[in-house]
Amino acid sequence: MSTSIEGPAAELLAGKNHAVISTLRKDGSIHNAVVWINVEDGRAAVNSAVGRVWPNNLERDPRVTVLVYDQQNPFEYVEIRGSVGDADTSQEADDHIDRLAKQYIDADSYPFRTPEEQRVKYVIEAERVRHVKQ
C-alpha cells in the first residue's frame, strides 16, 4: 500500500525545493542526482530524459529514495522511500516537465529540451514518508 504525501511534506514538494534522487547502480552502489519534483494525487513525480543514468537504474531496479529539503531551512526535509511504476514516455511526460519548469523557474515550457531527447516521467509509490522540521 502506498503512503500518501500530504501536509507539510507536500508543501515542500510544491515549492522550489530541489530533490536528491538516489537509485542503485548495477554494482549495488548508490547514484545520486539533483532533480525537480512535485506531488500529483498524493504521490511524488519526477522527470528526466530517456538514456540518463538514474532512469536507466530505475528500469533495472525500481527502488528509490528521494530527499527534499527547504531551501531556506535545510533542517526541514522530507525523505520518501519507495519504488517507481512503469516509465511514462507519453505526451504526459512532456507536459509534466513543462509543469515543473513553471514551478521551478516560472517558464511556460521547459527551455533546456533538445530535439533528440525523449522525456520520461516516474511516479513514486511511497512506502515511507518522513518529514523532519528543526
The range of the structural domain enclosing residue 29 comes to 7-133
| pLDDT at residue 47 is higher than 70 | yes
128 within a domain of the structure (yes/no): yes
| Model confidence pLDDT, tens digit, residues 17-38 | 999 999 999 999 999 999 999 9
**Average pLDDT rounded to a whole number, residues 54-68:** 98
2 within a domain of the structure (yes/no): no
pLDDT at 50: 97
pLDDT tier, 1 (very low <50, low <70, confident <90, very high otherwise) = low
**Residue 13 CA: distances (Å) to CA of 7, 53, 127:** 10, 23, 17
122 within a domain of the structure (yes/no): yes
CATH number at residue 25: 2.30.110.10
100 within a domain of the structure (yes/no): yes
pLDDT at 25: 97
pLDDT tier, 90 (very low <50, low <70, confident <90, very high otherwise) = very high
Report the length, in residues, of the chain.
134
CA 128 – CA 46 distance, rounded (Å): 17
pLDDT at 2: 80
Q: Is pTM beyond 0.85 here?
A: yes
**Average pLDDT rounded to a whole number, residues 91-106:** 98
Round the average pLDDT of the chain to a whole number and report it. Answer: 96
27 within a domain of the structure (yes/no): yes
Quickly tell me which residue has 529514495 as its cell. 65
105 within a domain of the structure (yes/no): yes
**Average pLDDT rounded to a whole number, residues 68-81:** 96
CA 111 – CA 40 distance, rounded (Å): 22
pLDDT tier, 8 (very low <50, low <70, confident <90, very high otherwise) = very high
Based on the structure, what is the number of domains in the chain? 1
129 within a domain of the structure (yes/no): yes
